[in-house]
Chains A and B, each alone.
Chain A
Amino acid sequence: NAGVTQTPKFQVLKTGQSMTLQCAQDMNHNSMYWYRQDPGMGLRLIYYSASEGTTDKGEVPNGYNVSRLNKREFSLRLESAAPSQTSVYFCASSESWGRGYSPLHFGNGTRLTVT
């Protein structure tokens, strides 16, 4: 049982390059999330998908796009990377969405550096 799997684990980009972070979960969860973690800022929500076929903006969506490919997979795309997007990105999933009643299960993160 792998849980939440993120690829790649590490990535270095140059300013202006694009890339897609992949995330897959095998727990049959309905909801999926992308967070970024920065020193002194904690975890901040970028986008989420409450259920298959829906996506919504979180706290810091600018510069990102997402795709809920199917129930298992939720990808995060940086169209034109900027140094401010240097961060650790976490994908998470939960059984259901709303009111904080369902714990999130996290992947191991992608460490992205934009030079």
Chain B
Amino acid sequence: SQELEQSPQSLIVQEGKNLTINCTSSKTLYGLYWYKQKYGEGLIFLMMLQKGGEEKSHEKITAKLDEKKQQSSLHITASQPSHAGIYLCGAGVLGSQGNLIFGKGTKLSVKP
């Protein structure tokens, strides 16, 4: 079973629109990470959340961690074509032996 579920699987938005991507764990979280991947490239680390209620922002991207719900959300404000790519969440979860597991990713397309 997939321990980290991302939703939606894909998203197409008009440039300038806001959007949210969710990542939900079926197990207790120890650290939640957001990455961005462009086709043919590696994963770029965006931000790390460790405590319940924690919120971090980088430019127009904000991520929050709801520890009770074992869920994180990634919100992009006023999307731009440069935001297009695949967003993956990764987390240390109970039972993962200290290693990160990853969601399957959310493919974001931004229409100019």
Q: Which of B1-59 contact A (CB under 8 A)?
A: 2, 29-33, 35, 40-45, 48, 50
Check A43 for interface membership: any CB of B closer than 8 A.
yes
Q: Is the CB of A101 within 8 A of B42?
A: no
Considering the complex, give the chain A residue whose CB is closest to the CB of B31: A100
Any B CB within 8 A of the CB of A103 = yes
Cβ–Cβ contact B91 & A106, under 8 A = no
Chain B's interface size range is 20 to 34
Q: Which of B59-84 contact A (CB under 8 A)?
A: none
Check if B104 sits within 8 Å of A98, measured CB to CB: no
Contacting residues, chain B, for A33 (C-beta < 8 A) = 99
**Chain A residues within 8 Å of B98, by CB:** 50, 97-100
Contact A100 B100 (CB under 8 A): yes
Interface residues on A, range: 20 to 34
Residues of A near B103 (CB, < 8 A) are 42
Instruction: List, in ascending order, chain B residues with CB within 8 A of A35's CB.
Output: 102
The complex places the Cα of A42 from the Cα of B99 at a distance, in Å, of: 15
Is B104 touching A42 in the complex (CB atoms < 8 A)?
A: yes
A100 and B42 contact, Cβ closer than 8 Å, known pairs A40-B104, A42-B102, A45-B99 = no
Report B's interface with A, CB cutoff 8 A: 2, 29-33, 35, 40-45, 48, 50, 88, 90-93, 96, 98-105
